[in-house]
Amino acid sequence: MAKLRIRTYGDPVLRQKSAPVRTVDAELRRLARAMGEAMYEHRGVGLAAPQVGIHKRLIVVDVEWVKKEGDGEKSETGKRNLRVYVNPEVTWESAEDDSMSEGCLSVPGVEGEVYRPRKIRLKHLSLAGLSHEEEMDGMLARCIQHEIDHLDGVLFVDRMPFLKRARIAGALNRLKKDTLAGAAPAAKSAAAL
Ligand SMILES: [Zn+2]
């Protein structure tokens, strides 16, 4: 499979809703593998198919392979554990929210606090085509909610409080201009999900 290109803020593909996967086949497994490679290459911890311009409900996540240092730098733990979720769907969420700073491979250079439910129950298909349902919290729950948003054309900056969003409006406008001019920076450092 050709190398996948990560789309950036301003690209209309990020605003399109993705369709459910009908069959889990070899092609889908190849796509999941290629998405994992792109995610690791860009030092992300999650990636959704629409971020590479493919509108299928497929996400990959690995919240263990990088850890954040105090100054925001990330270091590799060396352990890779790629999780793949097909047609992920939140069937329950806790009333209790958590606030955490998020970034996004599609919105390089921008980070901000977002409130999300602390715990979720997730229904999904595995790459073997089997149905699973599990409860999760912490970084994994956070990351999966961020990725499912991508499947619905929603970005984390949409969920930031109005005043904080106003503060990053300039950066978003610049990024959009660069994206439309084909000159958006390669996401590599501050990005996360
Ligand atoms: Zn993202």
At residue 112, the 3 state secondary structure works out as strand
In a domain, 188, yes or no: no
Place of tokens 């590479």: 52
Q: How many domains does the chain have?
A: 1
Q: Are 181 and 93 in contact (CB under 8 A)?
A: no
Q: Which residues are catalytic?
A: 147
In a domain, 5, yes or no: no
d(CA 157, ligand 1 centre) in Å: 10
d(CA 45, ligand 1 centre) in Å: 9
At residue 192, the 3 state secondary structure works out as coil
List, in sequence order, every residue forming a beta bridge with 121; answer none if it has no partner. Answer: 92, 135
Q: What is the CA angle 125-131-132, rounded to 5? A: 90
Domain CATH for 101: 3.90.45.10
How far is C-alpha 101 from the geometric centre of its chain's CA atoms?
14
User: Where in the sequence is the domain holding 133, given as residue range(s)?
Assistant: 12-180
Sequential pLDDT tens for the chain (193 residues)? 778 999 999 999 999 999 999 999 999 999 999 999 999 999 899 999 999 999 999 999 999 887 766 665 667 777 899 999 999 999 999 999 999 999 999 999 999 999 999 999 999 999 999 999 999 999 999 999 999 999 999 999 999 998 999 999 999 999 999 999 988 776 654 445 6
In a domain, 186, yes or no: no
d(CA 133, ligand 1 centre) in Å: 23
d(CA 176, ligand 1 centre) in Å: 15
